[in-house]
């Protein structure tokens, strides 16, 4: 009985809505609910995508810092090697070439 009353109320509301508003408000409400559910799902997927990209960015930044540290170490080693090379060159004994 209760379902019959609900169906009757829906029918009366639909007829009233169509005559006064120009559309069925219950149907419109259901469409809006479906649209909202679809939008909520889309937002959820976008948030997941953003979270994945954020974690990838964090990984890349960590890799960048690691590579920068390695570059600094390599620069230090290169400077040490250059100093040793210069010291070796300055210690060489040079003989004047008699033909010059």
Tell me the domain boundaries of the chain. Answer: 25-88
Q: How many CA atoms lie within 13 A of 32 on its CB side?
A: 6
Tokens of 18: 């169509």
- Burial class of 26 by CB neighbour count within 10 A (0 to 12, 13 to 18, 19+): middle
How would residue 94 be classed by pLDDT, with cut points 50, 70 and 90? low
DSSP 96: -
* Separation between Cα atoms, residue 17 and residue 36, nearest integer Å: 22
pLDDT, tens digit (0-9, with 9 covering 90-100), for 7-57:
777 788 778 778 888 888 888 899 999 999 999 999 999 999 999 999 999
């Amino acid at each position: 009985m209760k379902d019959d009353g609900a169906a009757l109320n829906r029918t009366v509301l639909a007829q009233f809505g169509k005559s006064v508003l120009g559309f069925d408000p219950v149907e419109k409400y259901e469409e809006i609910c479906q649209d909202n559910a679809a939008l909520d799902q889309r937002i959820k997927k976008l948030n997941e995508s953003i979270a994945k990209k954020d974690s990838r960015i964090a990984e890349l930044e960590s890799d960048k810092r690691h590579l920068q540290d390695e570059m600094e170490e390599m620069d230090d080693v290169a400077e040490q090697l250059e100093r040793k090379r210069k010291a070796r060159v300055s210690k060489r004994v040079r003989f004047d070439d008699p033909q010059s």
